[in-house]
């Protein structure tokens, strides 16, 4: 929107300070051209003046209509600046509003700029340094200045600001409501010096009078809105207090709402600890500023003197830390590190104010302004005071709840300990549950259970068996301590039920220097000691003895132990003593049961070995008998083959020499040429067959040595071959046997029967695995089954034998159990060989060797045996 008015001001040329009048001010002729309703030059001056007044009134009314369309102060001010700047064709229009409660400070709240000029929005102006502002505030009419640089009495800061804003000419007027200045309108010309016209002054005056009313109306609206928002905020905090006992939630709600209401940069709640140190426990900040949550603990400027003032209800409002005369340099430097330009501090006081007694200063509610200094209004301080009162109520309620909760937790811990003692026999679990619960309830640094190593016989050295600590640096778990100060005198007192509460180790008069040095060495500042007295479990006639001590310790600083804490530890110590007795009884019974089970396992294993040995012994005897009979017959056949060959050759030779007709006919009938050629081959085949029978019999004889009970040097390769011979009938047509025997393999001193048993069983297990793999069809593309036998010399004293297959292998979940007694994966009735447990006993216990599963990347299973070459009883 743009408005223009004719000007018939006769002072136009007189007011000019330059020969170029057209550039010194807006041309009224141009305005006439833009206004088709202008009168022609023949009209008289009275008519022109009347028409000008009408248009001026219409213009002011239209501007006032625009200003009345909203109650938002910033919208009103910005609208006024835009209409004035566009109407009067100036460079900048701005509105300064007086700060509430500060008559000397004005801040730019509205602005409109026509051109590329700096903004002054948010600029604070001190009237004491600006004589031009003083003139405007003292005069109730517009003040125009063609050259602001020549205005008398301007301070250095004001001249610097005018230069930065490029202001050359200015027309200004104060806005008032009921005679009180509440703002200033300023029209700036930045591109030239300008003579302001009377009608422009009239227009500004008319707008200023209406704007003063609008500012006051907007402020009343803003105040009512703020009051409503503050009331809603306090109601929200009150509801939070009623609906929750979580202090963190209440505090967070408070700082979030306070920052939004006050439009501050940061709101924090600072809680005091010891010696007026503390930290920020909750905060709400804008994205532009760094968080101080958990910090601010190093404000060394805060002392008991300040604390006393805040306990009396002091509210501290600092508008500008750089100019506040009451702010000491130490505190100002500290606030600078937090980027604070202004802050508002309100105490949080809890506890009823008794006569002559001040409430407790729990902490501070602090509002930070970081962007710029800020004047804190009275109603803002009042809001923070109300909020602090509500927070104090919340904190008191939470502390009362915490006390009742602690009582519930104590009872719960005692109930839990009783249930644990009844429900478990794990002593460590009982003790750990106790120390963890006690430290949490007492909020102390360390809780331990100290057990005397030889308590039953009066030994006083001990060990910390369980602990719970608040900081790892205080851990003393399994730290054996030799407390030379603890002797029979102290033990007797504790045995009689003595409880020792030491609030301050350094000054306790009943604590001797020896014990004090010992406690200092493990960082104890305060100590609560309760005895754990139990009865022996092996004899009903024995007296109770001091099993150990239950100790609660403060390591950071001394503390006072309360009666309820001492009582709690005493009750828990009794429950722990019951748990110890039950656990010891259980452990004794468990040990006896384990011993009986071990004996039973040995008997079962021995019985199994005897049965298996007897079975294999019978098999060996049968094999020896069969081998003897077969060998006798085979020896007879093998011995006569030589004579058969001689007799046959003689007969053939004689028949060959006969040439009679009858002999020739006989040769033809007998196919003599074929017999003469085939007969030697037949005898050779018979000799080879007999030799093969001899080899099989020899293998049977070797295997029949199972019942040999003496150690002697044995060829392990023969043992492997005999086992293969015994299992030959199980060989599949596609089975490939790979033998990688060491040529340097020495004779090994061993029990031949036991070694043959082991080889036989391992080869049989491998064949079982290959058959299972074949039946399941999971050969992974392999065309044949493989059995690999490998021997090697590890050293002069040790050899190794490995038996492997390419079957399905042993599942990982059972690999650790394959050597356990009676463990098997075979169905009942399948398999006749020894179990791996018996093989393990034969190799490890019987020969002092090794039997293990060799894990590698090859498919299948490989079992390896390592045997010593020599035995002392065989040398």
Per-residue pLDDT at 756: 84
Average pLDDT over residues 227-248: 77
413 vs 583 pLDDT, higher one: 583
Per-residue pLDDT at 86: 87
Per-residue pLDDT at 873: 57
pLDDT at 803 over 50: yes
**Which run of H or of E encompasses 239?**
helix 198-243
Per-residue pLDDT at 282: 92
Identify the residue whose tokens are 């009313």.
213
CA dihedral 108, 112, 117, 122 (to 10 degrees): 20
Q: What is the mean pLDDT of the chain?
A: 80
723 in Cβ contact with 760 (< 8 Å)? yes
pLDDT at 364 over 80: yes
Quickly state the pLDDT bin for 492 (edges 50, 70, 90): confident
Whole-model pTM above 0.75? Answer: no
Q: What CA–CA distance (Å, rounded) separates 761 from 841? A: 13
Of 625, 609, 512, nearest to 846 by C-alpha is 609
Of 575, 580, 581, 549, nearest to 415 by C-alpha is 575
**Which run of H or of E encompasses 144?**
strand 143-145
The model's pLDDT over 676-733, given as tens digits with 9 standing for 90+, comes to: 888 888 888 888 788 777 777 766 666 665 455 678 898 999 889 888 887 888 888 8
365 in Cβ contact with 346 (< 8 Å)? yes
pLDDT at 380 over 80: yes
The model's pLDDT over 598-635, given as tens digits with 9 standing for 90+, comes to: 888 878 877 776 776 677 667 667 777 777 778 788 88
Quickly state the pLDDT bin for 368 (edges 50, 70, 90): very high
Q: How far apart are the first and last CA of the chain?
A: 124
Of 809, 798, 713, nearest to 755 by C-alpha is 713
Return phi, psi of residue 428, to 5°.
Answer: -60, -40
Report the side by side order of strands in the sheet with 545-554: 462-469, 446-452, 545-554, 526-534, 500-502
Please calculate the CA angle 603-608-614 and round it to the nearest 5 degrees.
125
User: Quick one: how far is CA 813 from the chain centroid?
Assistant: 32
Other C-beta atoms lying within 10 Å of the C-beta of residue 716: 23
| Most confident of the ranges 62-66, 310-314, 802-806 | 802-806
Q: What CA–CA distance (Å, rounded) separates 137 from 175? A: 9
Q: What sign does the CA torsion over 425, 427, 433, 434 have? A: positive
Per-residue pLDDT at 608: 73
pLDDT at 19 over 60: no
pLDDT at 868 over 80: yes
Q: What CA–CA distance (Å, rounded) separates 263 from 247? A: 24
Paired with 862 in beta bridges are 804
Of 714, 437, 442, 482, nearest to 575 by C-alpha is 437
**DSSP 8-state secondary structure symbol assigned to residue 552:** E
pLDDT at 789 over 50: yes
> What 3 state SS string does 640-683 have?
HHHHHHHHHHHHHHHHHHCCCHHHHHHHHHHCHHHHHHHHHHHH
782 vs 556 pLDDT, higher one: 556
Q: Which of 280-294, 649-663, 789-803, 828-842 has the lowest mean pLDDT?
A: 828-842
Other C-beta atoms lying within 10 Å of the C-beta of residue 396: 16
**Which run of H or of E encompasses 96?**
strand 92-98
pLDDT at 584 over 90: no
Average pLDDT over residues 574-581: 84
Joined tokens for residue 345: 């501090």
Quickly state the pLDDT bin for 863 (edges 50, 70, 90): very high
Average pLDDT over residues 484-509: 78
Per-residue pLDDT at 731: 86
Per-residue pLDDT at 461: 74
Per-residue pLDDT at 454: 65
Domains recognised in the chain with CATH numbers: 21-224 (3.30.450.40), 244-405 (3.30.450.40), 424-561 (3.30.450.40), 590-701 (1.10.287), 710-874 (3.30.565.10)
Quickly state the pLDDT bin for 189 (edges 50, 70, 90): very high
The model's pLDDT over 138-173, given as tens digits with 9 standing for 90+, comes to: 888 999 999 998 888 888 888 888 999 999 999 999
Per-residue pLDDT at 13: 33
Percent of the chain surpassing pLDDT 70: 83
469 vs 303 pLDDT, higher one: 469
Per-residue pLDDT at 800: 96
pLDDT at 834 over 50: no
Q: Which of 131-140, 206-215, 399-408, 587-596 has the lowest mean pLDDT?
A: 399-408
Per-residue pLDDT at 869: 92
Q: What CA–CA distance (Å, rounded) separates 281 from 110? A: 38
574 vs 54 pLDDT, higher one: 574
For 316, left (φ over 0), alpha (ψ -120 to 50), or beta?
beta
CA dihedral 404, 408, 414, 419 (to 10 degrees): 180
Q: Which of 175-189, 289-303, 527-541 has the lowest mean pLDDT?
A: 289-303
Q: What CA–CA distance (Å, rounded) separates 618 from 612? A: 10
């Amino acid at each position: 929107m743009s408005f223009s008015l004719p000007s018939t001001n006769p002072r136009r040329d007189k007011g000019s300070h330059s020969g170029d009048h057209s550039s010194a001010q807006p041309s009224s002729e141009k305005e006439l051209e833009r206004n088709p309703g202008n009168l022609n030059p023949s009209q008289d001056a009275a008519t022109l003046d009347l028409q000008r007044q009408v248009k001026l009134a219409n213009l002011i009314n239209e501007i006032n209509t625009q200003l009345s369309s909203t109650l938002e102060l910033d919208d009103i001010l910005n609208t006024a600046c835009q209409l004035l700047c566009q109407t009067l064709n100036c460079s900048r229009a701005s509105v300064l509003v007086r700060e509430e409660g500060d008559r000397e400070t004005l801040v730019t709240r509205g602005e409109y700029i026509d051109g590329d000029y700096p903004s002054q929005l948010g600029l604070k102006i001190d009237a004491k340094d600006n004589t031009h502002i003083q003139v405007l505030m003292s005069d109730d009419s517009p003040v125009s200045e063609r050259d602001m640089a020549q205005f008398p009495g301007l301070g250095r800061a004001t001249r610097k600001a005018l230069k930065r804003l490029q202001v050359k000419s200015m027309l200004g007027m104060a806005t008032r409501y009921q005679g009180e200045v509440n703002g200033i309108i300023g029209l700036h010309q930045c591109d030239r010096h300008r003579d302001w016209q009377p009608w422009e002054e009239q227009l500004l005056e008319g707008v200023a009078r209406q704007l003063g009313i609008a500012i006051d109306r907007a402020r009343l609206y803003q105040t009512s809105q703020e009051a409503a928002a503050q009331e809603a905020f306090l109601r929200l905090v009150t509801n939070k207090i009623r609906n929750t006992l979580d202090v963190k939630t209440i505090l967070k709600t408070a700082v979030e709402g306070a920052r939004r209401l006050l439009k501050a940069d940061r709101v924090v709640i600072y809680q005091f600890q010891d010696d007026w140190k503390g930290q920020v426990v909750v905060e709400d900040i804008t994205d532009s500023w760094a968080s101080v949550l958990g910090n601010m603990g190093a404000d060394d400027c805060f002392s008991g003197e300040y604390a006393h003032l805040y306990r009396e209800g002091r509210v501290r409002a600092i508008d500008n830390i750089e100019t506040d005369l009451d702010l000491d340099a130490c505190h100002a430097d500290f606030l600078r590190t937090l980027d604070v330009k202004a802050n508002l501090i309100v105490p949080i006081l809890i506890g009823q104010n008794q006569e002559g007694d001040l409430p407790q200063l729990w902490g501070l509610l602090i509002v930070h302004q970081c962007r710029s200094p800020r004047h804190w209004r009275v109603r803002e301080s009042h809001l923070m005071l109300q909020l602090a009162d509500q927070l104090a109520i919340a904190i008191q309620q939470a502390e009362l709840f915490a006390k009742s909760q602690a009582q519930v937790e104590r009872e719960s811990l005692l109930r839990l300990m009783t249930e644990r003692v009844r429900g478990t026999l794990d002593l460590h679990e009982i003790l750990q549950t106790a120390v963890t619960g006690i430290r949490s309830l007492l909020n102390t640094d360390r809780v331990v259970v100290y057990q005397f190593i030889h308590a039953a016989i009066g030994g006083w050295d001990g060990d910390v068996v369980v602990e719970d600590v608040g900081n790892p640096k205080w851990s003393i778990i399994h730290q054996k301590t030799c407390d030379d100060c603890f002797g029979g005198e102290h033990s007797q007192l504790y045995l009689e039920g003595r409880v020792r509460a030491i609030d301050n180790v350094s000054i306790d008069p009943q604590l001797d220097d020896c014990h004090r040095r010992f406690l200092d060495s493990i960082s104890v500042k305060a100590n609560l000691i309760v005895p754990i007295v139990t009865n022996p479990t092996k004899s009903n006639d024995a007296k109770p003895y001091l099993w150990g001590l239950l100790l609660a310790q403060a390591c950071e600083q001394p503390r006072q132990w309360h009666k309820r804490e001492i009582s709690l530890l005493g009750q828990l110590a009794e429950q722990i003593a019951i748990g110890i007795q039950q656990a010891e009884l259980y452990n004794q019974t468990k040990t006896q049961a384990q011993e009986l089970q071990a004996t039973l396992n040995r008997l079962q294993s021995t019985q199994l070995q005897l049965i298996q040995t007897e079975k294999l012994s019978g098999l060996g005897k049968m094999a020896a008998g069969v081998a003897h009979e077969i060998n006798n017959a085979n020896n007879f056949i093998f011995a006569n083959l030589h004579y058969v060959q001689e007799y046959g050759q003689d007969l053939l030779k004689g028949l060959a020499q006969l040439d009679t007709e009858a002999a020739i006919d006989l040769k033809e009938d007998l196919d003599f040429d074929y017999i003469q050629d085939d007969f030697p081959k037949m005898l050779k085949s018979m000799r080879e067959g007999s030799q093969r029978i001899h080899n099989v019999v020899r293998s049977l004889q070797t295997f029949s040595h199972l019942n040999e009970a003496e150690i002697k040097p044995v060829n392990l390769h023969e043992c492997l071959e005999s086992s293969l011979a015994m299992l030959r009938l199980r060989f599949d047509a596609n089975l490939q046997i790979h033998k990688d025997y060491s040529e340097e393999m020495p004779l090994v001193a061993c029990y031949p029967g036991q070694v043959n048993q082991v080889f036989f069983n391992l080869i049989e297990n491998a064949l079982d695995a290959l058959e299972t793999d074949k039946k399941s069809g999971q050969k992974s593309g392999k065309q044949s089954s493989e059995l690999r036998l490998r021997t090697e010399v590890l050293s002069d004293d040790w050899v190794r034998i490995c038996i492997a297959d390419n079957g399905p292998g042993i599942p990982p979940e059972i690999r650790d159990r394959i050597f356990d007694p009676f463990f098997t994966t075979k169905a009942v009735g399948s398999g006749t060989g020894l179990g791996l447990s018996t093989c393990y006993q034969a190799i490890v216990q019987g020969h002092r060797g090794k039997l293990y599963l060799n894990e590698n990347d090859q498919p299948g299973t490989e079992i390896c045996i390592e045997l010593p070459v020599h035995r002392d009883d065989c040398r």
